[in-house]
DNA sequence: CTGTATCCAACTTGATACTG
DNA sequence: CAGTATCAAGTTGGATACAG
């Protein structure tokens, strides 16, 4: 029962699920972290330096969120000082393919988007010079 | 030089592009609208009723953003009262495939994420009942 | 080293009212 | 019908200081 074979093109339910997912990974840092972790497990400090526009606070918060959603596994090695390793779970790794698809689209179209934006802005308020 | 052939797995530049793109479409409404428009062109009021959790203000703002980024085309038919048709551009339609991939992932994994979250929350603060 | 707590500025969203 | 303006509220992100 409740087979959910996803035959329809774009049912509202699916849209809402995508929105939910984007609510998790669509923030400023999650995808960056998932991508970094996709290359292998990293310690907190390594991630912090690896991304380096991120604040310590946001790294902690984002990692907690990813851990909570089952995308990242957090392993504490209780040494002194403590080590904490972060790595992708199976679920986290399964997200890499969709993200790659989006990455490729982004890489291919960001310049087009930027051009469209510049054009739009020029047409809206740019004709004031004379 | 600066060939950018995208040979590396996940260079930082690509990450930043994805972040940029997510900054556009990763908000609360854009993807919902793009999906709706993927089924055919719609008028403002139709979109408003079609999504119905959205406020008039946010529909306007989101549509403007999508138009600005070249994903949506806005056509004004100057009748009385005026009609405004919205439809996907080629660029907007090219986004549908990546979004579908993400949709499928979302549809397949949202329940897993929800379960992970419930489990995480239970483990963090839930053991207070006894 | 790996966090947590506090304060604060900026951005996002919604409700409401108003306009052509 | 389509859109704008204003205001209030919530959320996000950063800086800083502190703790185990």
* pLDDT tier for residue A87 given thresholds of 50, 70 and 90: very high
Query: Contact B19/A9, CB-based, under 8 Å?
Result: no
For A1-5, A21-25, A26-30, A53-57, which range has the lowest pLDDT when averaged over its residues?
Answer: A1-5
pLDDT of residue B109: 93
pLDDT of residue B7: 44
- pLDDT at A10 > cutoff 70: no
For strand C, is any atom closer than 7 Å to the CB of B82? yes
Number of structural domains found in chain A: 1
The answer as to whether A1 is a domain residue is no
pLDDT of residue A107: 87
For strand C, is any atom closer than 7 Å to the CB of A23? no
The answer as to whether A57 is a domain residue is yes
pLDDT of residue B10: 52
The string of DSSP letters for A76-116 reads: EE--SS-EEEEEE-HHHHHTHHHHHHHHHHHHHHHHHHHHH
**Four-residue CA torsion sign, A31, A33, A36, A38:** negative
The bases of strand D with some atom under 7 A from any protein CB are 1-6, 12-17, 20
Separation between Cα atoms, residue A89 and residue A93, nearest integer Å = 6
The answer as to whether A116 is a domain residue is yes
The answer as to whether A96 is a domain residue is yes
The answer as to whether A5 is a domain residue is no
Q: Give the protein-side footprint of strand D (Cβ within 7 Å).
A: A 27-29, 53-58, 61, 81-82; B 43-46, 48, 56-57, 60, 63-64, 74, 76, 81-84
From B14, B68, B69, residue closest to A107, measured CB to CB: B14
Residue B82 belongs to what domain range?
12-124
Nucleotide nearest to B76 (CA to C1'): D2
Estimate in Å the CA A73 to C1' C19 gap, whole number: 54
Estimate in Å the CA A56 to C1' D18 gap, whole number: 14
CATH of the domain at B119: 1.10.10.10
* Inter-residue contact A95 to A25 (CB < 8 Å): yes
pLDDT of residue A11: 63
- pLDDT at A59 > cutoff 50: yes
pLDDT of residue A19: 79
- At a CB cut-off of 8 Å and minimum separation 6, what does A12 contact? none
**Cis preceding-peptide flag for A81 (omega within 30 of 0):** yes
From B27, B69, B107, residue closest to A17, measured CB to CB: B107
User: How near does any CA of chain B get to the CA of A26, in Å?
Assistant: 5
The answer as to whether B129 is a domain residue is no
The answer as to whether B130 is a domain residue is no
For A63-67, A84-88, B91-95, B107-111, which range has the lowest pLDDT when averaged over its residues?
Answer: B107-111
* pLDDT tier for residue A5 given thresholds of 50, 70 and 90: very low
pLDDT digits (tens, 9 = 90+) for B44-97: 999 999 987 899 999 999 999 999 999 999 999 999 899 999 999 999 999 999
Separation between Cα atoms, residue A85 and residue A96, nearest integer Å = 19
Query: Contact B21/A101, CB-based, under 8 Å?
Result: no
The answer as to whether B1 is a domain residue is no
pLDDT digits (tens, 9 = 90+) for B34-46: 999 999 999 999 9
Which of A49, A30, A10, A5 lies closest to A99, judged by CA?
A30
Q: Which percentage of chain A shows pLDDT scores above 70?
A: 85
List the strands of the sheet with A72-77, edge to edge: A42-43, A83-88, A72-77
Which residue of chain B comes nearest to A65, CA vs CA?
Answer: B117
Return the structure tokens found at A120. Answer: 């739009």
Report the predicted TM-score, pTM, of the whole model to 2 decimal places: 0.84
């Amino acid at each position: 029962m409740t087979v959910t074979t996803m035959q329809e093109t774009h049912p509202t339910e699916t849209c809402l699920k995508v929105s939910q997912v984007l609510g998790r990974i669509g923030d400023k840092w999650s995808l960056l972290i998932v991508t970094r972790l996709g290359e292998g497990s990293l310690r907190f400090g390594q991630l912090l330096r690896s991304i380096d526009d991120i604040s310590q606070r946001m790294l902690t918060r984002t990692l907690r969120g990813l851990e909570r959603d089952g995308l990242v596994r957090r392993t504490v090695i209780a040494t002194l000082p403590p080590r904490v390793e972060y790595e992708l779970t199976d679920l986290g790794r399964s997200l890499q393919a969709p993200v790659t698809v989006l990455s490729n689209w982004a890489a291919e179209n960001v310049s087009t988007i930027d051009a469209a934006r510049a054009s739009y802005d020029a047409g809206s308020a740019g004709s004031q010079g004379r």
